Amino acid sequence: MKQKSILAIIPARAGSKGVPGKNRKKLLGTPLITYTIKAALEANYIKEVVITTDDEAVKETGEKFNVDVITRPARFSTDKSSSESAVIHCLRTLQKREKFFEYFILLQPTSPLRTSFHIDDCCEKFFSTENNSAISITDNAHHPYKTFFIKNKEMLPVKGWKLLSSPRQKLPANFRQNGAIYLLSTTRFLEEKSFIIRPVMGYRMKPEESIDIDTELDFKIAEMLMKASRNNDMA
Protein backbone atom coordinates (compact mmCIF):
# COMPACT_ATOMS: atom_id res chain seq x y z
CA MET A 1 0.00 0.00 0.00
CA LYS A 2 2.75 2.46 0.87
CA GLN A 3 4.20 1.93 -2.62
CA LYS A 4 0.98 3.01 -4.32
CA SER A 5 1.00 6.51 -5.76
CA ILE A 6 -2.39 8.02 -4.84
CA LEU A 7 -3.43 11.60 -5.46
CA ALA A 8 -6.37 13.16 -3.63
CA ILE A 9 -8.37 15.56 -5.80
CA ILE A 10 -10.82 17.96 -4.15
CA PRO A 11 -13.14 19.65 -6.68
CA ALA A 12 -14.65 22.91 -5.42
CA ARG A 13 -16.19 25.31 -7.89
CA ALA A 14 -17.56 28.67 -6.75
CA GLY A 15 -21.06 28.40 -8.22
CA SER A 16 -23.85 26.61 -6.38
CA LYS A 17 -27.56 27.11 -6.94
CA GLY A 18 -28.68 25.38 -3.72
CA VAL A 19 -26.31 27.19 -1.35
CA PRO A 20 -24.29 30.15 -2.72
CA GLY A 21 -20.61 29.86 -1.82
CA LYS A 22 -21.30 26.39 -0.43
CA ASN A 23 -17.74 25.10 -0.29
CA ARG A 24 -16.53 28.07 1.75
CA LYS A 25 -19.66 28.39 3.90
CA LYS A 26 -18.93 27.73 7.56
CA LEU A 27 -20.08 24.53 9.21
CA LEU A 28 -19.73 24.75 13.01
CA GLY A 29 -17.43 27.74 12.49
CA THR A 30 -15.18 26.03 9.92
CA PRO A 31 -15.31 26.40 6.12
CA LEU A 32 -16.96 23.31 4.65
CA ILE A 33 -14.01 22.42 2.43
CA THR A 34 -11.65 22.38 5.43
CA TYR A 35 -13.10 19.07 6.67
CA THR A 36 -12.17 17.35 3.42
CA ILE A 37 -8.74 18.98 3.23
CA LYS A 38 -7.90 17.77 6.75
CA ALA A 39 -9.21 14.26 6.05
CA ALA A 40 -7.05 14.00 2.93
CA LEU A 41 -3.92 15.34 4.65
CA GLU A 42 -4.38 13.00 7.62
CA ALA A 43 -4.89 9.88 5.46
CA ASN A 44 -1.89 7.54 5.48
CA TYR A 45 -2.06 6.45 1.85
CA ILE A 46 -2.42 9.81 0.12
CA LYS A 47 0.81 11.01 -1.47
CA GLU A 48 -0.39 14.49 -2.43
CA VAL A 49 -3.52 16.63 -2.21
CA VAL A 50 -4.72 19.04 -4.89
CA ILE A 51 -7.74 21.35 -5.10
CA THR A 52 -9.27 22.32 -8.44
CA THR A 53 -11.32 25.50 -8.06
CA ASP A 54 -12.35 28.85 -9.51
CA ASP A 55 -13.14 30.25 -6.05
CA GLU A 56 -10.59 32.71 -4.61
CA ALA A 57 -11.69 32.05 -1.01
CA VAL A 58 -11.24 28.30 -1.51
CA LYS A 59 -7.79 28.94 -3.01
CA GLU A 60 -6.82 30.90 0.11
CA THR A 61 -8.06 28.10 2.36
CA GLY A 62 -6.08 25.51 0.41
CA GLU A 63 -2.93 27.62 0.52
CA LYS A 64 -3.24 27.94 4.32
CA PHE A 65 -2.86 24.16 4.49
CA ASN A 66 -0.01 24.18 1.92
CA VAL A 67 -2.19 22.24 -0.51
CA ASP A 68 -1.57 22.54 -4.24
CA VAL A 69 -4.34 24.58 -5.89
CA ILE A 70 -5.10 24.44 -9.62
CA THR A 71 -7.16 27.25 -11.07
CA ARG A 72 -10.14 25.78 -12.89
CA PRO A 73 -11.00 27.55 -16.18
CA ALA A 74 -14.46 29.09 -16.49
CA ARG A 75 -15.51 26.56 -19.15
CA PHE A 76 -15.15 23.79 -16.55
CA SER A 77 -16.89 25.74 -13.78
CA THR A 78 -20.46 26.20 -14.98
CA ASP A 79 -23.60 24.42 -13.76
CA LYS A 80 -23.46 22.30 -16.90
CA SER A 81 -19.77 21.40 -16.60
CA SER A 82 -19.04 17.82 -15.61
CA SER A 83 -16.83 16.80 -12.71
CA GLU A 84 -14.98 14.56 -15.17
CA SER A 85 -13.92 17.55 -17.29
CA ALA A 86 -12.57 19.39 -14.25
CA VAL A 87 -10.59 16.34 -13.12
CA ILE A 88 -9.18 15.76 -16.60
CA HIS A 89 -7.99 19.38 -16.66
CA CYS A 90 -6.46 18.91 -13.19
CA LEU A 91 -4.60 15.74 -14.15
CA ARG A 92 -3.36 17.17 -17.45
CA THR A 93 -2.10 20.28 -15.64
CA LEU A 94 -0.14 18.12 -13.21
CA GLN A 95 1.28 16.05 -16.07
CA LYS A 96 2.61 19.25 -17.66
CA ARG A 97 4.45 19.76 -14.39
CA GLU A 98 5.81 16.21 -14.78
CA LYS A 99 3.64 14.91 -11.97
CA PHE A 100 1.84 11.62 -12.55
CA PHE A 101 0.03 9.43 -10.02
CA GLU A 102 -1.01 5.82 -10.59
CA TYR A 103 -4.33 6.36 -8.85
CA PHE A 104 -6.47 9.21 -7.66
CA ILE A 105 -9.23 9.48 -5.11
CA LEU A 106 -11.93 12.08 -5.69
CA LEU A 107 -13.10 13.71 -2.45
CA GLN A 108 -16.02 16.08 -2.81
CA PRO A 109 -16.07 18.78 -0.10
CA THR A 110 -19.82 18.27 0.36
CA SER A 111 -19.11 15.13 2.43
CA PRO A 112 -17.75 16.59 5.70
CA LEU A 113 -18.38 13.41 7.72
CA ARG A 114 -16.07 11.35 5.54
CA THR A 115 -12.81 11.10 7.50
CA SER A 116 -9.21 9.95 7.00
CA PHE A 117 -10.31 6.57 8.38
CA HIS A 118 -12.76 6.12 5.51
CA ILE A 119 -10.13 7.13 2.95
CA ASP A 120 -7.52 4.69 4.28
CA ASP A 121 -10.05 1.91 4.84
CA CYS A 122 -11.39 2.24 1.30
CA CYS A 123 -7.86 2.17 -0.13
CA GLU A 124 -6.95 -0.95 1.84
CA LYS A 125 -10.09 -2.79 0.78
CA PHE A 126 -9.80 -1.71 -2.86
CA PHE A 127 -6.20 -2.79 -3.30
CA SER A 128 -6.98 -6.22 -1.85
CA THR A 129 -9.41 -6.84 -4.74
CA GLU A 130 -9.21 -7.07 -8.53
CA ASN A 131 -11.73 -4.27 -9.07
CA ASN A 132 -11.07 -1.36 -11.43
CA SER A 133 -12.73 1.32 -9.32
CA ALA A 134 -14.31 1.92 -5.93
CA ILE A 135 -17.19 4.17 -4.95
CA SER A 136 -18.61 4.88 -1.52
CA ILE A 137 -22.17 3.73 -0.93
CA THR A 138 -24.73 3.69 1.85
CA ASP A 139 -28.01 1.90 2.52
CA ASN A 140 -31.00 3.18 0.59
CA ALA A 141 -33.56 4.71 2.94
CA HIS A 142 -36.37 3.66 0.58
CA HIS A 143 -36.27 0.43 -1.40
CA PRO A 144 -36.48 1.10 -5.18
CA TYR A 145 -38.89 -1.84 -5.62
CA LYS A 146 -41.44 0.18 -3.65
CA THR A 147 -41.28 3.24 -5.91
CA PHE A 148 -43.35 4.40 -8.87
CA PHE A 149 -43.06 6.15 -12.20
CA ILE A 150 -45.74 7.78 -14.32
CA LYS A 151 -46.45 6.68 -17.89
CA ASN A 152 -49.34 8.03 -19.95
CA LYS A 153 -50.69 9.72 -16.77
CA GLU A 154 -50.86 6.37 -14.98
CA MET A 155 -48.81 5.57 -11.88
CA LEU A 156 -46.94 2.29 -12.28
CA PRO A 157 -44.58 0.39 -9.94
CA VAL A 158 -40.94 0.25 -10.96
CA LYS A 159 -40.67 -3.49 -10.35
CA GLY A 160 -44.18 -4.92 -10.09
CA TRP A 161 -47.38 -4.61 -8.04
CA LYS A 162 -46.79 -7.66 -5.83
CA LEU A 163 -43.44 -6.40 -4.60
CA LEU A 164 -45.03 -3.24 -3.20
CA SER A 165 -46.40 -5.24 -0.28
CA SER A 166 -43.32 -7.45 0.22
CA PRO A 167 -41.46 -7.08 3.54
CA ARG A 168 -38.15 -5.25 3.10
CA GLN A 169 -36.36 -8.26 4.60
CA LYS A 170 -37.39 -10.35 1.60
CA LEU A 171 -36.17 -7.84 -0.96
CA PRO A 172 -32.53 -7.73 -2.17
CA ALA A 173 -30.21 -5.40 -0.27
CA ASN A 174 -29.71 -2.18 -2.17
CA PHE A 175 -27.48 0.85 -1.89
CA ARG A 176 -26.96 4.32 -3.31
CA GLN A 177 -23.85 6.36 -4.05
CA ASN A 178 -23.18 8.87 -1.30
CA GLY A 179 -20.66 10.96 -3.25
CA ALA A 180 -17.93 10.81 -0.60
CA ILE A 181 -15.27 8.69 -2.34
CA TYR A 182 -14.32 7.65 -5.88
CA LEU A 183 -11.05 5.73 -6.30
CA LEU A 184 -9.56 4.50 -9.57
CA SER A 185 -6.60 4.28 -11.91
CA THR A 186 -5.52 7.58 -13.46
CA THR A 187 -4.75 5.96 -16.81
CA ARG A 188 -8.10 4.15 -17.02
CA PHE A 189 -9.95 7.32 -16.09
CA LEU A 190 -8.22 9.36 -18.79
CA GLU A 191 -9.04 6.61 -21.29
CA GLU A 192 -12.70 6.15 -20.36
CA LYS A 193 -13.48 9.56 -18.81
CA SER A 194 -15.61 7.97 -16.10
CA PHE A 195 -15.23 7.65 -12.33
CA ILE A 196 -16.97 4.27 -12.41
CA ILE A 197 -15.13 1.53 -14.29
CA ARG A 198 -16.34 -2.03 -13.93
CA PRO A 199 -15.87 -4.19 -12.00
CA VAL A 200 -16.68 -1.77 -9.19
CA MET A 201 -16.11 -2.18 -5.45
CA GLY A 202 -18.72 -0.60 -3.22
CA TYR A 203 -17.26 0.92 -0.07
CA ARG A 204 -20.08 0.90 2.45
CA MET A 205 -20.50 3.83 4.84
CA LYS A 206 -23.08 4.40 7.56
CA PRO A 207 -26.07 6.62 6.67
CA GLU A 208 -25.05 9.15 9.34
CA GLU A 209 -21.59 9.42 7.72
CA SER A 210 -23.06 9.88 4.26
CA ILE A 211 -24.58 13.36 4.36
CA ASP A 212 -24.00 15.07 0.98
CA ILE A 213 -24.56 18.79 1.41
CA ASP A 214 -26.62 20.43 -1.30
CA THR A 215 -29.13 22.59 0.60
CA GLU A 216 -29.39 24.74 3.72
CA LEU A 217 -31.28 21.87 5.35
CA ASP A 218 -28.34 19.56 4.65
CA PHE A 219 -26.08 22.00 6.51
CA LYS A 220 -28.38 21.87 9.53
CA ILE A 221 -28.49 18.07 9.45
CA ALA A 222 -24.68 17.92 9.19
CA GLU A 223 -24.34 20.26 12.17
CA MET A 224 -26.70 18.09 14.21
CA LEU A 225 -24.82 14.91 13.32
CA MET A 226 -21.42 16.43 14.04
CA LYS A 227 -22.55 17.83 17.40
CA ALA A 228 -23.96 14.43 18.35
CA SER A 229 -20.70 12.74 17.35
CA ARG A 230 -18.64 15.20 19.42
CA ASN A 231 -20.88 14.70 22.43
CA ASN A 232 -20.49 10.92 22.14
CA ASP A 233 -16.71 11.30 21.98
CA MET A 234 -16.75 13.36 25.16
CA ALA A 235 -19.04 10.96 27.03
pLDDT truncated to tens, each residue of the chain (235 aa)?
667 899 999 999 887 777 888 999 999 999 999 999 999 999 999 999 999 999 999 999 999 999 999 999 888 887 788 999 999 999 999 999 999 999 999 999 999 999 999 999 999 999 999 999 999 999 999 999 999 999 999 999 999 999 999 998 899 999 999 999 999 999 999 999 999 999 999 999 999 999 999 999 999 999 999 998 877 776 5
| Residues 119, 120, 121, 125, CA torsion sign | positive
Q: CB-based contacts of 196: which residues, under 8 Å, 6+ apart? A: 133, 135, 182
d(CA 149, CA 143): 14
141, 65 contact by CB (below 8 A) = no
d(CA 113, CA 179): 11
HSE-CB of 180 using CA atoms within 13 angstroms = 30
Q: What is the pLDDT of residue 2?
A: 62
Q: What is the pLDDT of residue 183?
A: 98
Q: What is the pLDDT of residue 229?
A: 81
Terminal Cα distance for the chain, rounded: 35
Angle (nearest 5°) at CA 18 between 15 and 23:
50
Buried b / exposed e across 46-76, counting CB within 10 Å, b at 16+?
Answer: bebbbbbbbbebbbebbeeeebbbbebeeeb
> Which amino acid appears at position 164 of this protein?
L
d(CA 150, CA 166): 21
Q: Strands, E, within 25-66: which ranges? A: 26-27, 30-31, 48-53
d(CA 108, CA 13): 11
Query: Beta strands 175-185 and 103-106: pairing type?
Result: antiparallel
Q: What is the pLDDT of residue 64?
A: 96
d(CA 112, CA 161): 39
In this prediction the pTM is: 0.93
Domain 6-139+175-234 sits in CATH 3.20.20.240: no
What does each C-alpha distance from 60 to 13, 36, 56 come to in angstroms?
14, 15, 6
Gyration radius of the chain's alpha carbons = 19
- The string of DSSP codes covering 126-173 is HTTS--SEEEEEEE-SS-GGG-EEEETTEEEESS-TGGGGS-GGGSPP
